[in-house]
């Protein structure tokens, strides 16, 4: 086979592959018809319990040198990976205290990407009991603006533990609209 024919054949195969890839991407990006959508589009829908427990392991200190990181994986009721980044939010002189004011970011990367979300939370970390209790809202992804409570209970060494996520019912008068995405 001559070199020009080989290059033409490779270019044809690359073109077919590109068209197939773009078609798949277009299918994924297309909104599902209303009838095909399920409650699993939101992290607190009926397909997912109002409370989820995820086993966690300490992942170290963030690259910026400030955040403490824990990671965990869950397979049911919603398969995915959770990452919690916790940062001390108090005065530098109070850092030796056993209870810290903290901020936390929760990244939940669901296997079904439409159910992924990020939440911004704040609360306390009690180093004596090994328990971080924070509250906030989902700020991006599925269930945006939904309230979220998070409790990370660590074992004695703080290297592993369990993360409990609770999606409380909205207060009376609030309409629980479907998930929205912020621009």
Report d(CA 116, CA 166) in Å as an integer.
15
Listed in order, strand segments (DSSP E) in the chain are 51-61, 68-74, 80-88, 99-110, 117-126, 131-141, 147-154, 160-166
| The predicted structure's pLDDT at residue 40 | 41
Q: Which residue has the higher pLDDT, 5 or 37?
A: 5
pLDDT band at residue 57 using 50, 70 and 90 as cut-offs: very high
| The predicted structure's pLDDT at residue 85 | 95
* pLDDT, tens only, 61-85: 998 888 999 999 998 888 999 999 9
Q: Which residue has the higher pLDDT, 169 or 108?
A: 108
| The predicted structure's pLDDT at residue 35 | 33
| The predicted structure's pLDDT at residue 120 | 96
């Amino acid at each position: 086979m001559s070199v020009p024919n080989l290059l033409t054949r490779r270019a044809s195969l690359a073109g077919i592959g590109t068209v197939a890839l773009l078609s798949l991407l277009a299918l994924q990006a297309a909104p599902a018809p209303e009838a095909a959508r399920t409650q699993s589009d939101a992290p607190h829908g009926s397909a997912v319990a109002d409370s989820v427990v995820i086993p966690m392991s300490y992942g170290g200190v963030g690259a910026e040198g400030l955040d403490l990181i824990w990671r965990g994986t869950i397979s049911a009721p919603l398969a995915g990976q959770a990452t919690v980044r916790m940062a001390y939010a108090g005065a530098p002189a109070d850092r030796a205290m056993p209870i810290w004011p903290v901020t936390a970011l929760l990244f939940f990367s669901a296997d079904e990407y439409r159910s992924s979300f990020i939440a911004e939370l704040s609360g306390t970390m009690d180093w004596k009991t090994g328990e971080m209790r924070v509250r906030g809202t989902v700020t991006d992804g599925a269930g945006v603006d939904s309230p979220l409570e998070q409790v990370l209970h660590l074992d004695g060494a703080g290297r592993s533990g369990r993360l409990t996520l609770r999606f409380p019912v909205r207060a009376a008068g609030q309409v629980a609209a479907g998930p929205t995405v912020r621009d």
